[in-house]
Chain A
Amino acid sequence: MSVFAVSKEVLMTVIQELGKTHELHGPRVDRASGQVFFERAGAAEDIALEAELPSMPPKELFFPQVDRLLKYRYDSAARSVELTRLGQERPKALIGLRPCDLAAIQCLDRFFLGQEYVDEVYRTHRRKSFIVTYTCNEPARQCFCVCFHTGPAAEEGFDLNVTRLASGYLLEAGSEQGRALAVGLGLRPATEEQRMEKERVVERSIALFPEKATGNKAWASRVMNRVTTGFVKPEVWEEIGKKCFECGGCSYVCPTCSCFNVEDACGAEGECERLRTWDSCSLESYTRMAGDHNPRKLVEDRRNKRFFCKLSYSQSKKYLRPGCVGCGRCVWVCPGDIGLPSVVEQVKS
């Protein structure tokens, strides 16, 4: 891997250079609420690299909450129809992506671009993107990436990875386009000492995680075995189900959740758009069929499904890794206190 050492100013130059060919997206701290959003940035300086994990994952960029797939108008007099594909390629640079969110994008890539069919809609959004990850110097309270081996430093899948050192930054190129950019700008190769310093940054970061997360290597895998084989008592799902408010929040904030609904929205003039919108398996309507038949009517069955998706090896086959990346957002958002770690604990006990 080509590794470079840069000052803050040079790092800004790298981002500015990317901004010439890509839309820039990165973390922004909202002054009023203190919340962090991963958003379109006007300029390199607007990106708050060191801000904590954004409250919403960046999946929106490749899997928009509301995506317009196609439009048509049915001419009922001529009885003809013209369909037009919507959605266009926009090169995007994601700056300051945290390692867990990168792992989640890899899950989405494997899910949408692998399998039997390629999802062209996702591919169009994803194509021509450039990913700059940022090593987490310290975990936030809800983080448990170490349990799922996604952080606190990204190991692969980025174009460039940035690590803050005592002075300046270490820049690792993880792809040919990342290397080309760095070489093109004539960046200075890092010294052995600077590379070693990054290792120490990562070690220190890992040491800051609570013992619970780092002490027991089998924390998640033991539960994954049980969830995969169905070796979980129905009472446990019932308990978990009782706590769910059926708000769907967990799915919306989860960087790997990608279920969607499709509907045709039509205006008064008969012009219609086919929309793909985020959906959640926690909602009763998710599996409901005509005649009010619902094979997954009970909330515990629906919760069971979510955690099967996140914690079973069957689902992992599609992502080539577990479906949870340990970002902890569902812990933040869930009003019922059944974020993923607490479910792992309940299944265990």
Chain B
Amino acid sequence: MKAEAKITIVDFPEVVNIDEIRDEAPEVKTFYLSFLDPRLEAGFRIRSGQFIMCTVFGAGEFAVSLPPSPERDRLHITVRAVGKVTHALHRLRPGDKLGVRGPFGNGFPFEEIKGKNVIYVAGGIGLIPLRSSIIHVLQHREAFGRIILLYGARTSRDLLYREDIREWQKTPGFETFVAIDRAESGWDGEVGYVNTLIGKANVPVENTAAFVCGPPVMFNGVIAELLKRGMSEDDIVSTLERNMKCGYGKCQHCAIGRTLVCTDGPVYTYRQIKTLGEGI
């Protein structure tokens, strides 16, 4: 197979159209995008775990993960409105344009984890950066062992990609455990923090890779639980978030110790995270 030249839009944004907008959860929307330039529309390739820098014209630029699978999926981003630029994005309608640079970053391991069990542990919007890898792994179901998703959110309304999850559950042997923090009427799923799901799912630790993503408290609880069960620090993988201005290793805002999250990361093993030389 001929290797395709990889396209990276480094410093001059390319314009995309917003084809469709879906409400995902309160303050969270998914934007489906397509490049105006047909060459990019056909040739823009990503790896799971990479991100782009997205320009909201008139407001500015922000870093955002790429939830689509690298194979057979629509280009989209899922964004929570938290500040100036992300709120401006939420005010846009289909047909509006955005700027895109990237894709940047290393991405999640895929070939390296073939043959293993894969556990995804997500808290809240931590599911956004994991979505790509989940779908990619499910698209190659036969190459992996157990595939388990442990997902928690504050309330049932905060759960993302609910349709997707129902779709994924059709894949044989895909195990899902979803919990919300407190009981709600009409909720018949799990209740409690995500780390409690680890026991419920009776997750394997041998020959297993765990991808963990969520707010710091959840992250720490989950890591502690996985380590307690005997998982190796090299098999726990996460993606880090930092203030970023360029995405290609020059503005230095995302430096943690000796690493730059934009070019060396955003995906790190827990062992790497521990030795970055600075707190996360």
Using CB atoms and an 8 Å cutoff, list the residues of chain A in contact with chain B.
69-70, 72, 74, 76, 79-81, 83, 85, 111-112, 115-117, 119-121, 230, 258-264, 266, 270, 272, 274, 279, 281, 286-291, 295-296, 301, 305, 308, 312, 314-315
Question: Across the interface, which residues of B come within 8 angstroms of A116, CB to CB?
Answer: 248-249, 263
- Choose among B8, B58, B277, B278 the residue that contacts A74 (Cβ–Cβ < 8 A): B58
The segment out of B144-152, B156-164, B250-258 that lies at the interface is B250-258
In the complex the two chains form, is A117's CB within 8 Å of B10's CB? yes
Residues of A within 8 A of B242 (CB): 287, 289, 295
Determine if A115 and B97 form an interchain contact, defined as CB atoms under 8 angstroms apart: no
Known: A264-B61, A287-B242, A289-B241. A120 touches B249 (CB 8 A): no
B57 & A287 in contact (Cβ 8 Å cutoff): no
Expressed in whole angstroms, the minimum distance between the Cβ of A308 and any Cβ of chain B is: 7
Partner of B57 from the list A72, A119, A263 (CB cut-off 8 Å) is A72
Give every chain A residue within 8 A of B251 (Cβ-Cβ): 259-262, 279
B59 to chain A, nearest CB (A): 7
| CB of A292 to closest CB in B, whole Å | 10
User: Are B250 and A266 neighbours in the complex by a CB distance under 8 Å?
Assistant: no
- 28 residue pairs of the A-B complex, CB under 8 angstroms, read A69-B11, A70-B12, A72-B57, A74-B57, A81-B15, A81-B57, A83-B12, A112-B250, A117-B263, A119-B248, A119-B250, A120-B10, A259-B252, A259-B253, A261-B245, A261-B251, A262-B245, A264-B58, A264-B59, A272-B57, A272-B58, A274-B61, A286-B253, A287-B243, A287-B253, A288-B243, A296-B278, A315-B258
**Interface assignment of B60: CB less than 8 Å from any CB of chain A:** yes
Residues of the B chain whose Cβ atoms lie less than 8 Å from the Cβ of A266 = 58
B97 touches A83 (CB 8 A): no
Known: A121-B11, A308-B257. A289 touches B57 (CB 8 A): no
A79 B257 Cβ-Cβ under 8 A: no
Least CB distance, A132 to chain B, in whole angstroms: 28
CB distance from A298 to the nearest CB of B (A): 10
Nearest residue in A to B83 (C-beta to C-beta)? A290
* B246-274 interface bits toward A, Cβ cutoff 8 Å, 1 = contact, 0 = none: 10111111011110000100000000000
Question: Is residue B38 contacting chain A, with contact meaning CB distance below 8 A?
Answer: no
Instruction: Point out the residue from B60, B248, B255, B257 that lies within 8 Å of A263, measured CB to CB.
Output: B60
Query: B1-29 CB contact bits vs A (8 Å, 1 = yes)?
Result: 00000001011110100000000000000
Residues of chain A contacted by B61 (CB below 8 angstroms)? 262, 264, 274
Contact B97 A80 (CB under 8 A): yes
Check B97–A258 contact: CB distance below 8 A.
no
Alpha-carbon distance between A315 and B12 when the two chains are bound, in angstroms: 27
- Residue of A with least CB distance to B15: A81
A290 in complex: contacting residue of B12, B82, B252, B255, CB < 8 Å: B82
Closest to A289 in B: B243
Chain B contacts of A279 at CB under 8 A? 251, 253
Task: Tell which of B11, B58, B245, B263 touches A120, judged by Cβ atoms closer than 8 Å.
Answer: B11
Question: Which residues of A are found within 8 Å of B55, using beta-carbon distances?
Answer: 264
A74/B97 in contact, CB under 8 A = yes
Q: Are B248 and A79 closer than 8 Å at their CB atoms?
A: no
B95 within 8 A of A: yes
A119 contacts B11, C-beta separation under 8 Å: yes
